[in-house]
Amino acid sequence: MSKAQLIVPAHSVESAWTLPANCVLWLSAAQSGDVAKSGSWTDFSGAGNHADLKNNAEVTGGELARPANSDWANVTPAGDFSGLSKFTALNWVKVTSGVGISMAGHYTFTWRLSCSTSNINGVVANTSFSKTGDVDDGAWHHWGIVYDGPADTLAIYRDGTLGTPFAHVTAAQGNTSNLRIGARGIAPPGQSFAGPMDEIMVFQDALTQELLTGIYTNEYAKG
């Protein structure tokens, strides 16, 4: 799908639409408008987890633009992303390179979400699960991971559909690293994501298929 056919939610979220409960991060180009380089991208979840744009990263044209691998966003959380028993991480991405890259995630022993060639990779506590997703086609896709610690499962999500959960997942562990958007690592971040992204969301819950469908349908249909 082209961007014209599948409008990213930054161009389509209506003011009457509300997020499901337990959202602790919502970075939205539609809500914020343009944010210049080195600026602060407002977190609209109400949790105060604002993102600092690094190097030449900027919010422009309805998306987080990252011209080079060294451009990324940093979130310094107050315990909202680390060591959770349940969580969901979602965003819209347009993969412009099939290189093995990390897209977003808490470093090392907590979680990350990445793309490797055409696979979507979900990692929790260094245990990796992959699903062929056909995401390296230069089109916009809505993707993420859903982790349920009590159920011992992790599921990979793509364009409104929650995949069959993988079982026997190592429990997510806590750490004090910041959340990286568009890269992973500490100093300097590496494995950068190649392409723009938008509507970055994290929930302190394992969202159901019904809720995921509602988010995707609202964002897809309102274009």
Question: Between the CA of residue 43 and those of 28, 30, 31, 35, 177, what are the distances in Å?
Answer: 8, 12, 9, 12, 18
What's this model's pTM, rounded to 2 decimal places?
A: 0.85
Domain map (residue ranges) of the chain: 78-221
The CATH number given to 78-221 is 2.60.120.200
pLDDT tens column, 78-120: 667 766 788 888 888 887 665 544 555 554 446 777 776 667 7
pLDDT, tens digit only, all 223 positions of the chain: 333 333 344 434 444 556 777 888 889 887 888 999 999 999 988 889 999 998 899 999 888 887 777 788 888 866 677 667 888 888 888 876 655 445 555 544 467 777 766 677 777 766 677 776 667 777 788 888 888 888 888 888 888 888 888 887 766 666 666 788 887 666 566 667 777 888 888 898 999 988 888 788 765 443 3
